Structure 1
Amino acid sequence: MEIRALKYFLITVREGNITKAAKYLNLTQPNLSRQINMLERDIGHKLFERRHSNIVLTPEGILLKKRAEEIIDMIEKARAEFNFTDEVIAGDIFIGAGESWAMSLVASVMKDVQKDYPHIKYNIYSGNFQDITEKLDKGLLDFGLLIDPADLSKYDYLKMPAKDTWGLIMRKDSSLSRNKNITKKDLLNIPLIISRQVMETEIEDNDFSRWFSDTFDKLNITATYNLIYNALIMVREGMGYALCLDKLIDNMHNENICFIPLKPKLESGLNIVWKKNQEFSRASKIFLDALKNKFKV
């Protein structure tokens, strides 16, 4: 299986049409079709169904797309890691991050490192726990910023000197918007939009589950989210109240939305993680040393 063939395949998927993909690649349509046919023979499965002028991926094609993207990402990451000379330290650092104001602390370290090593470049991937750990485990990320509750048993990590505060985002015309705090009783019988990470976590003994105790099963959960932006849209449209972390909405641009913290106070810790026994590039090692120095580990 050739890397070039995988790239041709991904571009064809992106364009959704053999003719458009051939034009983009500066190939003839028969040449590109031949390359795709060779890939199908190599894989042993049909990758496309041709419908009118467009293509539709088969189940095998969907799987190959996912694997091809991972392979190409890994190749690009490997090239970036060797982008240095004896005189100039350069290279790319790949960081996955959950949505948290603590990313500003990481960004301050990134800025400090870049002052001394201006040829180091950062690549940030936003996602939830499952998204980030999957890419960490496959070697597509160097570091991840994970929000508790999170299983850290597979990783080395630094605990961040910060915590996120949980609360409820709601429209300002809600009767609850006049409250200074939100209690467990307030959460009953209102439509809730909740983080999918919290819903799917297998860690029973954590601050979040202890705060809710036996209340969680009584909640009226109408939707889940993995990134807060879409949850904000649902709140704006009156679908419900989003249980989320503080400092993730900009009230200057969300005049009709407000955040009210839970009572008793519920906080989540934050961790910078990386794979155990990981072989770091020179750029990533410099960044890790800067993190440890910043957070005094």
Structure 2
Amino acid sequence: MKKNVIVSLADSNYFELLNELVDSIKSFEKSKDTAICILDAGLSKQQKDILVKKVDEIKSAEWDIDVPAFKVKGKEWLKSQVSRAFLPKYFSNYEKYLWIDCDAWVNNWESVELYFKACEDGKLGITQTLGPGYKIMSKVNWLFGKIAIIKSQNFKHAIKSKIGINKARKLAFAPHINIGVFSLEKNSPGWSSWQKNLEQTLKSGNIFGSEGLAINMSVYIDELETEFLPLNCNWIASNLLPKFDEIKNTFVEPYLPNHKIGIMHLAAGIWDGNKDMRLNKDILIKVKTIQKRLLSKSLRFGY
């Protein structure tokens, strides 16, 4: 019986990315001991027929918290902003859960093992969007050259979600936590904290981003015990491009000691003009190598 599970979600538009994520997981021999489960938010029958041969379970995602129909507007993929906070409800036979967004893929199995280790004893395993080379963490509008109006991601979402000014201030300059990759045990208090906050953020704020704000509230306001993992465990390439090691044939962090990227995350897209690499696998970008060359590379799995 497998005790650990990796879960992701997609609709038909992101099927190729989801399929690549599954293939990246299964490329590691150690993955045989880990289940793979999928939440379906609009996959076609043909797509599910492909996936069912590779994964352990596929279940339809639901609106686990009531959301006004006008906010949904037919975008079933928005269920990912709610259902990921209820993973033990969907897949109850596991002890540890690792969520990976479908626009991410596994490059180093050590990161998977770190996430499962990080969530022991009820802790949340997650990565802050903060690291060497990050030049801007919050945006500010300056009035009269000295009065600052905060526009950090946490603060902006907190104000729109009407969670209260005191809570918003606590989040204003806290390093943002990306919810695209995280781990929790089945019986962790993190689930109830997250769900409680998510109910609040969904009332007034946008659906998209609500779950991220809610988990930031759990960590920085509810003080959920958290194990913060290194940035290479959830490398958001749109924030900072990796480098490529031509000798080891792998993506690495751009600064010394050039640790291997564990999970490559294409959140927010990798763009060439108006074309997004997530939806067009032919898109290539210039990537520096640690051998001091410049290559045209895709950041998708297997390309």
Q: Which has the higher helix share?
A: 1
Q: Which has the higher contact order (CA 8 A, sep 6+)?
A: 1
Indicate the structure (1 or 2) with the bigger Cα radius of gyration. Answer: 1
TM-score, normalised to structure 1, is 0.22
TM-score by length of 2: 0.22
